Amino acid sequence: MTATVRHARPADLPRVVRLIAEHAAFERADPPAPDLAQRLDALLFGTPEPRLRCLVAESAEHGIVGYASCEPALSTWQGRAYLHMDCLYLSADARGGGIGRLLVAAVAAEARALGLDEIQWQTPTWNKDAARFYDRLGAHAKEKLRYSLAAEVSPAADRAP
Average pLDDT taken over every residue of the chain: 92
* Whether pLDDT at 19 is above 70: yes
With 0-12 / 13-18 / 19 or more C-beta atoms within 10 angstroms meaning exposed / middle / buried, residue 128 is exposed
Maximum C-alpha span of the chain: 61
Mean pLDDT of 24-41: 96
∠ CA(10), CA(12), CA(15), 5° rounding? 140
* pLDDT the model gives residue 157: 55
Mean pLDDT of 149-159: 68
Percent of the chain with pLDDT strictly greater than 90: 76
* Local confidence band at 158 (pLDDT 50, 70, 90 cut-offs): low
Mean pLDDT of 14-36: 96
Mean pLDDT of 4-9: 98
* pLDDT the model gives residue 125: 87
Other Cβ atoms within 10 Å of 3 Cβ, number:
23
**Is residue 87 within 8 Å of 20, Cβ to Cβ?**
yes
* pLDDT the model gives residue 152: 82
Beta strand 80-90 with 119-120 is parallel
* pLDDT the model gives residue 112: 97
CA pair distance 47, 37, nearest whole angstrom? 16
**Is residue 17 within 8 Å of 36, Cβ to Cβ?**
yes
Q: How many angstroms separate the Cα of 29 from the Cα of each of 19, 22, 33, 85, 135?
A: 13, 10, 12, 18, 24
Q: What is the DSSP letter of 153?
A: -
**Is residue 32 within 8 Å of 20, Cβ to Cβ?**
yes
Q: Which range has the worst mean pLDDT, 37-46, 62-71, 79-88, 120-129?
A: 120-129
> pTM of the predicted model, to two decimals?
0.88
